[in-house]
Structure 1
């Protein structure tokens, strides 16, 4: 009986040690994804609440760097370069730090985004962009710290920071027009050599229209004639052979072999020699 009781005690102790009690986080995490024009913007932050406290000038001192949230540093990620108050900011991830004031806030986009809290030693070289914005009083309490994407247009948005009775807005602009122009230019100029190479390879591998595949690969090879690519020429030889054009297939294989030899690519050298032998050229 004593052994049974001891076993049950050990089992209960093990369960108690491994069990974890789950409770709601005091400052819940939030992740917000927003498309601004053609730019993806992702915001990650934790949201403390007032809970009857005075926030600015109380819990958070005026004129002192604040992590702008709770727990891990508040982070924002831009998929393209943007501008903040006319200042360029490269695409990437940044921590958002602020220095709340009675009438204005300083907002910092800091390259060292990992960690929690404000840096123990502030490094100005890690400030990728800085802006001073007016602090606006709003007519009601915002109980839980909130960051929003406001005033969306095709090429801009305002990062709205709200808590207690304070709102500050940080406007950023995205290069939508330039991105659209680049996309239009690419489409209007026709497919790239890589597009043609990929399409012809797909048609070859899947037994589709071989004449169309030949047209595409011939154009890709021509487009890269100043800097021949042995893998393009290899695919051209296979497509021509598939189309029953052995003579031009041999010519392409010989060219591929020549440039593969220069590049010392043993795999393509071996494949080209095998094909030339198969086609009676070696």
Structure 2
């Protein structure tokens, strides 16, 4: 009996203390691709054929598949996109599919935390459904692969490849819209935030304070209701530029705003400055 107990204890010790790593049968993969001005990321696991027939066998036809192995595959977009002409908001989506002999359905599902296909499929979480025709390839792909190919400035294809089958789902990115908005902003000149940021930098970097004051005046003239923390910076720039009257006026407005917001740090800073400038 003692020998049996000793063997059990030794077995438990080996089990709990094992710290070596072994290769995973379906290793994790990540793909990051910039399409136009949109960041696209794929996170998925890669099962291998290992001599098995895949579609219609290992992966049954007409059943929802996780489109990979382990946790569901996930695609993320940094901007809104169009998937096969359908609008899809920026964000992350689980990729599910229903393979068929002649037509696949690919689902972009808003719940990305699934281990396999959801037990309770929620149609309200399907952000887009795309139908695509599978293509037979001349060469077989041993390990399941997701890729972003057929790149252009305005879009690309999400490609699903395994065994002798490839499915391509086209998507469009709003490159032209983003570029035109950027051009319009630059051509129309700096905005209030640009002037404000430049003025504050000039103050903190001890650069041309007259230029900082000029930029701050432009920022404030373009701002309908300046915040107390903006007025605080204005008062400091005015004071450094030698405009004590302007500094006091801005500090009093900042103080009133800080008191209303109950921000005691700004109340103290403004109070101290007003005392220093002889206004209290």
Answer yes or no: same fold by TM over 0.5: yes
Partner of 2:123: 124
Report the alpha carbon displacement of residue 252 of structure 1 after superposing the two structures with TM.
Answer: 2.0
Distance in 2, matches of 1:19 and 1:116, equals 26
Distance in 2, matches of 1:100 and 1:132, equals 10
1:250-265 matches, cutoff 5 A: 250-265=248-263
1:1-282 matches, cutoff 5 A: 17-224=16-223, 226-282=224-280
Q: Deviations over 1:207-255 (max 9, x none)?
A: 222112111111111111x313222222111111111222222222233
Structure 1 residue runs of 5 or longer lacking an equivalent are: 1-5
CA 1:232/1:164 → structure 2, altered by over 3 Å: closer, same or farther? Answer: same
CA 1:47/1:12 → structure 2, altered by over 3 Å: closer, same or farther? Answer: closer
Aligned length: 273
- Where in structure 1 do 4 or more consecutive aligned residues deviate above 6 Å? 10-13
CA 1:11/1:131 → structure 2, altered by over 3 Å: closer, same or farther? Answer: closer
Distance in 1, matches of 2:204 and 2:11, equals 62
Query: What's the RMSD between the two structures over aligned residues?
Result: 2.0
SS across alignment from 2:274? helix
SS across alignment from 1:151? strand
Q: Which moved more, 1:125-134 or 1:269-278?
A: 269-278
Distance in 2, matches of 1:238 and 1:198, equals 14
Q: Which moved more, 1:118-127 or 1:187-196?
A: 187-196
Structure 2 residue runs of 5 or longer lacking an equivalent are: 1-5
Q: Deviations over 1:130-167 (max 9, x none)?
A: 01101111112111111111110001101111111111
